[in-house]
Amino acid sequence: MKLFSDVIREQARARPHAVACRFAGSEITYGALDHRSNQVAQGLIAASVAPGTRVAVLSKNSAAYLELLGGTLKSATVLLALNWRLAPAELGYILDHGEAAVLFAEPEFANVAAELAGRLRPPALVMTLDGAYDAWRDAQPSDDPNLPASPEDVFVQMYTSGTTGLPKGVQLTHANYNASFDAMGRLDWSIAEAGDTIFAPAPFFHVNGLNAVLRGMLSGCRILTIDQFRPSDVVDLFERERVTRASLAPAMIQMCLETPGVAARDFSALKLITYGGSPISDTVLKRARDVFGCDFAQGYGMTEATGPVTMLAPADHRDDSLLLSCGRPLPGIGVQVVRPDGSPCAPREVGEVIARGPMLTVGYWRDPDATARTIRDGWLYTGDAGYFDETGYLYIHDRVKDMIVSGGENVYPAEVENALAKDPDIADAAVIGVPDARWGEAVKALVVLRPGAARDGQAVIDRVRRHIAGYKAPKSVDFVEAIPRNPAGKILRRELRQPYWADQARAVH
């Protein structure tokens, strides 16, 4: 059972001069990462930040993010990974609910950090990741604090939206990550080595992004990351840096394939591209095979399960009939499809997907009711509807809950509808996910206007963006006479979705 603070120490001893992370043309070695992690930890300890305290980070991906991760690990505090795309009000709620006492923010978000400083608990330390941070870090002793730690300790907390619109803090422990990585490590094709160069573009506040970092460090790999996805830059990086493994959303793969001259590039070092968030279309996959010349694997999972619970292996991708599947359960992880009464479904019978195993979150922070609703008798109820075929492959059919997955990000209709309700021109509204070739699903609002209001969809979208993150805002607006509801007043979302999904092979992308 590994403590991830020990992983940094071990890699520093084994390969101190090997590059741990390359970002924006600069590099940090495993030895330097260990050294700086000690300094960050000592700085937190000197500021009276006690073990278990939530330390928030509001930053895009960077090498400094790894220092902060290492510093929280070695100070036995908890990394509160903030989604920098959220609106200030949303971030304020998370800081308050998460009881954060420290906020590190990159300069781009300095004004937001200053606005939110009042939401912090003592010592209410706010640090901008610029020269002031470098000076603060370098002023600290570099001795390893060697604080006691347990595999059962929570070391990261990530917030995921809920059907009520209020985010929930998913707590993940060293033991959770050990279980998840052990399951992945039993698949020969997924094992990375110290000589690998891993491209990790997913935001580090996202479970996919953080997992890529932690697995990379565990293997002693060189991790490449970026702060913004620019397809032409990524194609250049793949060739120039001899990337061997990458984790990309299907939309990212498609954008790379649209880069002029991509077919002439040298991707001979590339071994594997793993994707998730949505299945990949036949057309994009076949083109990607031809261009990249590597294996592909797909993962299906969730933050509450510390990442994937099923994988569609590279060999499965050579069978076109399996491309709509999200694969088989990982070794040691239980996955079932059940009826409303909890009994197992027969093959091809649609029910709710549930999962269990030691990788499951210990629960939502300060939310025992939500924890009890989501994890019952040791099983995580995912809210996804699906079925197993006769050979044990899982297919996602629809969503028991109403969540929309757009570009790998979860968007809950209730949250968007709450923002729409603040618009004085709107009498009623419903939000659904509709098919989108690039993002899998796109957020659509169906709006009933008040008398005299203008039919201006863009104006509606612009006003919503004042209240919630841009990626959650509707991408399109349809104006309707009424929103269909059942006798209890619940929106008949399936009825609204049907015209948009009628010609699709599955009810979700």
* Per-residue pLDDT at 293: 96
Instruction: Quickly list DSSP for 449-478.
Output: EPTT----HHHHHHHHTTTS-GGGS-SEEE
Domain coordinates in residue numbering, the chain: 1-19+28-149, 405-501
Instruction: Give the architecture-level CATH label for domain 405-501.
Output: 2-Layer Sandwich (3.30)
pLDDT at residue 49 greater than cutoff 90? yes
Number of helices followed by number of strands (H, E) in the chain: 15, 26
Mean pLDDT of 52-74: 97
State the pLDDT confidence band at 487, using cuts at 50, 70 and 90.
Answer: low
* Per-residue pLDDT at 494: 82
- Residue 64, CA atoms < 13 Å, CB-side half-sphere: 19
Identify the bridge partners of residue 160 per DSSP, sorted by sequence position: 168
- Amino acid code (one letter) for 55: V
DSSP β-ladder status, 125-128 and 154-160: unpaired
Q: Compute the radius of gyration of the chain from its Cα atoms.
A: 23
State the pLDDT confidence band at 264, using cuts at 50, 70 and 90.
Answer: very high
C-alpha to C-alpha distance for 196 and 199, rounded to whole angstroms: 10
* Per-residue pLDDT at 163: 46
Q: Which of 5, 4, 28, 26 is nearest to 16 (CA)?
A: 28
Place of tokens 């700086």: 36
Q: Which are the contacts of 342, defined by CB distance < 8 A and separation ≥ 6?
A: none
Q: Average pLDDT, whole number, for the chain?
A: 93
What pTM does this model have?
A: 0.86
* Per-residue pLDDT at 506: 64
Q: Report the percentage of the chain scoring pLDDT > 90.
A: 79
- The reply to whether 405-501 shares the fold of 1-19+28-149 is no
C-alpha to C-alpha distance for 341 and 168, rounded to whole angstroms: 26
Q: Report the percentage of the chain scoring pLDDT > 70.
A: 96
DSSP β-ladder status, 197-199 and 168-173: unpaired
Q: With both helix axes pointing from N to C terminus, report the angle between 4-14 and 30-46 in degrees, rounded to the nearest 10.
A: 140
**Least confident span in 26-40, 288-302, 339-353, 408-422:** 408-422
Dihedral-angle region of residue 184 (phi above 0 means left; psi in -120 to 50 means alpha; beta otherwise): alpha
State the pLDDT confidence band at 279, using cuts at 50, 70 and 90.
Answer: low
At the topology level of CATH, where does 1-19+28-149 sit? Answer: Rossmann fold (3.40.50)
C-alpha to C-alpha distance for 130 and 455, rounded to whole angstroms: 45
C-alpha to C-alpha distance for 162 and 440, rounded to whole angstroms: 20
Give the best-scoring range by mean pLDDT among 149-153, 281-285, 319-323, 432-436: 149-153
pLDDT at residue 505 greater than cutoff 80? no
* Per-residue pLDDT at 474: 96
C-alpha to C-alpha distance for 56 and 169, rounded to whole angstroms: 12
pLDDT at residue 341 greater than cutoff 50? yes
Mean pLDDT of 459-468: 93
CB 219 within 8 Å of CB 194: yes
CB 306 within 8 Å of CB 207: yes
State the pLDDT confidence band at 488, using cuts at 50, 70 and 90.
Answer: low
Dihedral-angle region of residue 208 (phi above 0 means left; psi in -120 to 50 means alpha; beta otherwise): alpha
Kind and range of the H or E run holding 133: helix 131-138
pLDDT at residue 191 greater than cutoff 70? yes
State the pLDDT confidence band at 20, using cuts at 50, 70 and 90.
Answer: very high
**What are the tens digits of pLDDT across the range 393-414?**
999 876 777 778 888 787 878 7
CB 219 within 8 Å of CB 193: yes
Residue 208 burial (CB count, 10 A): 24
**What are the tens digits of pLDDT across the range 124-182?**
999 999 999 999 999 999 999 999 999 999 999 999 865 455 789 999 999 999 999 99
